[in-house]
């Protein structure tokens, strides 16, 4: 699934994001609101990922979603 599809279907995608990254709170998901850069920032904050690592995680996840 490409990011435009994820962003357009954010309400459905939120559950899958929560399954993949359980440390993200409902507040995080509301703030992310389908924005890839926000998701990357929250992953860096919650998981201690470097920026490129967060981007790779998102790419891998989006490819499976």
Convert the pLDDT of each residue in 5-62 to its tens digit: 999 999 999 999 999 999 999 999 999 999 999 999 999 999 999 999 999 999 999 9
The per-residue pLDDT for 62 is: 93
Look up the pTM and report it.
Answer: 0.92
**Secondary structure of the chain as H, E, C letters:** CCHHHHHHCHHHHHHHHHHHCCCCCHHHHHHHCCCHHHHHHHHHHHHCCCHHHHHHHHHHHHHHC
Q: If pLDDT is split at 50, 70 and 90, which confidence band does 64 have?
A: confident
The per-residue pLDDT for 7 is: 92
- Looking at CATH, the fold of the domain delimited by 3-64 is given as Protein Yjbj; Chain: A; (1.10.1470)
């Amino acid at each position: 699934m490409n990011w435009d599809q994820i962003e357009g279907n954010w309400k459905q995608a939120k559950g899958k994001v929560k399954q993949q990254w359980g440390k993200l709170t409902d507040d995080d998901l509301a703030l992310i609101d389908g924005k890839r850069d926000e998701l990357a920032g929250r992953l860096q904050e919650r998981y201690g990922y470097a920026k490129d690592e967060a981007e790779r995680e998102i790419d891998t996840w989006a490819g499976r979603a």
